[in-house]
Structure 1
Amino acid sequence: MTGSPPFVPPSRVSASATHVEPAQGRRGPVVAIGNFDGVHRGHRTLLANAREKAAARGVGTAVLTFEPHPRAFFSPGKPFFRITPRAEKERVLTRAGVDAVHVRAFDADLAGMSPEAFVDELVAGAIDASGVVVGYDFHFGKGRAGTPAVLTRLCAERGIGCDVVPVVEEAGAPVSSSAIRTALGAGEIARANALLGYRWFVLGEVRHGDKRGRTLGYPTANMALAEGCGLAHGIYAVRLSADGVVRDGVASFGRRPTFDDGAPLLETFVFDFVGDLYGKTVGVELVGFIRGEARFGSAQALIAQMDRDSAHAKEMLAAQDGLESML
């Protein structure tokens, strides 16, 4: 692995972490465990702790995470806004400098597993961990019976080191996945990106659309985002990555109320680009929110607004926010 990327520290990590040293002779990796939806600044503090402990012991760093998200397993018919679906999550985890990412299926067997079996089969068994790092609110096992205190005891009994990382706060509030979902749902991209520590992005295949953008002078690369995506409908300043090249652009996410009120799509117009992106998997990161989705009385009125949106997007993209890009 290459060195870990720059990490934007949170404003405060409250209290000190609970720490238990491993038994002598254990040489397996230090594993960080969690759902890690968003892999936000709180999660990255946890990962930094795991890397530090691993480096001190001369062992590797691993992550144990779960798919699908437990909420999707327990409420399969209820839409759930994933900040980072699996591909995006694994990209951010890898960029965070861990050596291995273990993805365990969250299924009936895992949901019904006792805390003791969780540690014996997954932590001590499958991964053979010498140390474990979790967040202050981590729960595991049947009925969420496994608490950080229970995990600390079980690890100590098995000679496995254990660190429980306390809450990470920003401006007096916990950095959390729920806070980021709320910000994205309100179009507060600057707020969401600040909590993430990087610019929120999506990965997806460019699909054929109705080609209407071409007739308006704004051909777009269209992507269907993950089911349950709660991003606010509106216009955004973005960057799009394709074939290893990152380009500036402006994007609309929504139902196109001026034309068809169809299924939500992310439609990205890339500045100064001529080419074919159909069928390619691209990444799009959101830099700033321009305005909400609106209905226009004519195509000409829409084009005039799109001209203004493009100019606004270029201004946003020219500014430096100091955040990391995952493209």
Structure 2
Amino acid sequence: MMPDVRSARHGEALLPSLSRIAGRLTLAALILILCAIAVFPFYWMFVTSIRPSGQLFQYPPEMLPSANSVFSTYVTIFQDTALGAWLWNSIRVALGTAILASFIGATMAYALSRFRFRGRGFTEYLLLATQMFPGILLAMPMYVLFSKIGLLNSLPGLTVAYLALLVPVATSLLKTFFDGIPVALEEASLIDGASRVGTFFRITLPLSLPGLASTFLFCFIIAWDEYLFAQMFVRQPANWTVSVGLASFSGEYVTPWDQVMTAATIVTLPAAIVFLFLQRYLVHGLTAGGVKG
């Protein structure tokens, strides 16, 4: 009787471990399927970019790329179009917008978080209210203003337009983060003789690095992908950004989808590189202030 009892108990103990293993395998398979679904559009974009034009619409499609045309396709796109200039324009505008929006937003957020003044609450609600309206409402007034002060068809003017959209967002994100930094740390720095500006740059900003990184990444991606303002405010092809340049590939009768996909693959790389460098700060920065200890 004793061996039977022990065998039964061993079988009962083995069942939970088998169920845990099955659950982990199921979860791993589900994650792999979701990752494949997320990655497949980028893979298909790359395969389409290196496929000859005559094979773009063949059925059944080829799932594996041909290695003999990879380099020639990507070299040709830079030779036949102004994609290199458009990329450089977008990098300058997106980096300038992200840096300025993060810095201006940090100073405004610090003032709203640390100082008490009349109209402080109204200012916070006003910043949030600016996000309730579509950007097209700002486009026409800004177009008239820029035409009078000479900012049309210029990358600095486009950067200013993006700042008008992103500074309120950056301020709201960073204020929530600054609220989670203990005031006692700044008070200790002030007691030691540091100025308010010195405390801001030496204490507060280093502690807010995750929030700054996530804000910078958010502003960079928005400025990199934006199309409406870039199309309205910059009409000269030499000053186009990549979003406007990609749209110019679409013709009235024919669209060269191989060139579109080649350019789109190249355009995704800068944003992906910035994300890879800053992704470790992203989750912490976006969730900071969500829970108060």
Fold match by TM threshold 0.5 = no
Q: Which has the higher strand share?
A: 1
TM-score by length of 2: 0.23
TM-score under structure 1 normalisation? 0.21
Higher helix share: 2
| Higher RCO structure (Cα 8 Å, ≥6 apart) | 2
